[in-house]
Structures are given as C-alpha cells and as structure tokens.
C-alpha cells in the first residue's frame, strides 16, 4: 500500500518530534530518579541514625541506673558525677529522637513512655534519698538489685518496640525504593523504544528524500517517464512513486490552439474543386 501525502507528512513530523519528546522525557526521568535516590538515601541515613540513638540511649540508661544503685548502696558521692552525666546524655538523646521521628506518631508515643519511665525510675534527689550503705544488709542489696533489673527490663521492652518500629519503616522504605527503581527501568525502556521508532522514521524519511534526488528519465517526444524499466505516463508515475492523485485539465495555450483550430475549420473558403 502506497502511503498518501497526508501519511507522509504525519511520518515526517513524528520523526522530528519523537526524538525531542523522548529527550525531554529522559531528562525529566533522570531528574526524578536523582531526587528519589537522594530522598531515599537521606531517609535511610536518618533511620540508621535513629537506630544508633536508641542503642546509645539504652547504654546511657544502664549507666544512669548503675550509678544510681551504686550511690544508694554505698552513699559514695563519686557515683553522682557519672549519674548526672548519663542523665544529661539521656535527655539529649530523647530530644534528638523526638526531632528525628516527629512525623511518626508511634515512635513519639514510645519516646513519651520512655521519658516517663526515666522520670519516675531514674530521677532522684541525693539529699533526700535513703542510702542503704548506712545500714547495709543483704536484703537491701538484693532489693535494690532486683528493682534495678526490673527497671532495665521495662526500659528494654520499650526500646525494643521502638527499634522494631524503625526497622519496619526501613523495610517499607526499601520496598518503595525497589518499586521506584522498577518503574524507572520500565519508563527508560519505553523511552528507548520511542527513540528507536523515531530513528526508524527518520531513516525512512531520508530514504524517501534520497529517492527524490535521483535522476528521472523522461521521453523527449511523448513526455513519458521511465520507471523500473517501464515507460509510464506522468500521472501514473506520480501515483506509483509518490502516491499523488492527478486530475486533468487544459492549459491556456492548449485552449487557445484548440480555439484557433476550430475557427480555421469553420472559416468559409473557396469551394472544393469539381470532380
């Protein structure tokens, strides 16, 4: 089937516009992928920082409880300095964790519960505290030790819940990043296919232009065109080669010549010679 002139124009403009559209789309895709990668990288780094802070907070709580128990058992003031240092670190860790997880209601609830436990179990006034070291007995030592173990177990449960929640969020973010990567690959394949199609259209257009630049042999006597070893009328050649439909008319010169011939035939003249 020979393509029409309208089809050829459509192919021509498609061949010119598709590469530009594909180039713009690939530029947008690269920009989008870079933004998604940057956001995913920042979120993953923040998540690992939160997990490290949970581990660090747990270590500081253990230090604060050990120093508190040591002071309550012995009454020695040298336990107070590490206790206050550990408590200050706990406050800083909780403030940083609240800031890093401000968009997560579950983690905010876990941190609020942890802060409440720290205030109720670890905060004490050394001046009014009952010091077991003054009248130390095995029972008091065991009681404080068991109480300290219970405090740490409760704290560890809360920290474990917070740690698991953060791990869940990390896994969810990784799945989302994988889905974005698959989507980006699919879009890249589609754009590559569009560029390949555009190149094919450009090659077709170039081949057609190359044919237009070829020499055409025309009969000097009849005006017929030589095409693929055959002599065709000009309208047949245009139809087969370019899909152009030809309509016939009469030029002004031909019309004038026809009128002159008709007038010559109708002009009166001498009678014809006798037989």
Close Cβ partners of 235 (under 8 Å, ≥ 6 residues apart): 246, 248
What's the sign of the alpha-carbon dihedral 255, 257, 258, 259? positive
List, for residues 105-145, the tens digit of each pLDDT value: 998 999 999 999 888 888 887 777 655 544 444 445 556 66
- The pLDDT value given to residue 24: 76
What's the sign of the alpha-carbon dihedral 32, 35, 38, 41? negative
Please answer whether residues 64 and 93 qualify as being in contact, where contact means their C-beta atoms are separated by less than 8 angstroms.
no
Residue 213 to residue 146: CA distance in whole angstroms: 99
List, for residues 185-195, the tens digit of each pLDDT value: 787 777 777 77
- How much is the average pLDDT of 16-37? 71
List, for residues 211-253, the tens digit of each pLDDT value: 655 667 888 888 888 877 888 888 887 777 767 777 777 788 8
Hey, which of 129-133, 168-172, 208-212 has the most confident mean pLDDT? 168-172
The band of 7, judged by pLDDT with boundaries at 50, 70 and 90, is low
- The pLDDT value given to residue 76: 84
- The pLDDT value given to residue 83: 92
CA dihedral 93, 95, 96, 97 (to 10 degrees): 80
């Amino acid at each position: 089937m020979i393509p029409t002139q309208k089809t050829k124009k459509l192919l021509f403009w498609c061949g010119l516009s598709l590469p530009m559209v594909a180039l713009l789309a690939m530029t947008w895709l690269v920009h989008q992928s870079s933004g998604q990668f940057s956001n995913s990288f920042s979120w993953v780094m923040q998540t690992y920082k939160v997990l490290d802070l949970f581990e660090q907070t747990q270590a500081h709580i253990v230090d604060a409880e050990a120093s508190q128990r040591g002071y309550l058992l012995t009454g020695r003031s040298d336990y107070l300095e590490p206790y206050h240092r550990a408590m200050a670190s706990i406050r800083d860790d909780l403030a940083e964790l609240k800031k890093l997880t401000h968009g997560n209601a579950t983690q905010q609830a876990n941190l609020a519960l942890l802060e409440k436990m720290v205030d109720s179990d670890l905060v004490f006034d050394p001046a009014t505290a009952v010091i077991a070291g003054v009248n130390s007995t095995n029972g008091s030592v065991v009681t404080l030790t068991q109480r300290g173990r219970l405090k740490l177990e409760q704290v560890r449960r809360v920290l474990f819940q917070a740690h698991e929640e953060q791990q869940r969020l990390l896994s969810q973010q990784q799945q989302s990043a994988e889905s974005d990567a698959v989507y980006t690959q699919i879009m890249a394949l589609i754009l590559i296919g569009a560029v390949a199609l555009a190149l094919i259209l450009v090659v077709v257009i170039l081949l057609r232009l190359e044919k237009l630049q070829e020499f055409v042999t025309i009969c000097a006597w009849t005006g017929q065109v030589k095409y693929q070893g055959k002599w065709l009328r000009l309208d047949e050649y245009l139809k087969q080669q370019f899909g152009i439909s030809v309509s016939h008319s009469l030029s002004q010169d031909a019309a004038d010549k026809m009128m002159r011939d008709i007038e010559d035939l109708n002009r009166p003249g001498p009678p014809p010679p006798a037989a």
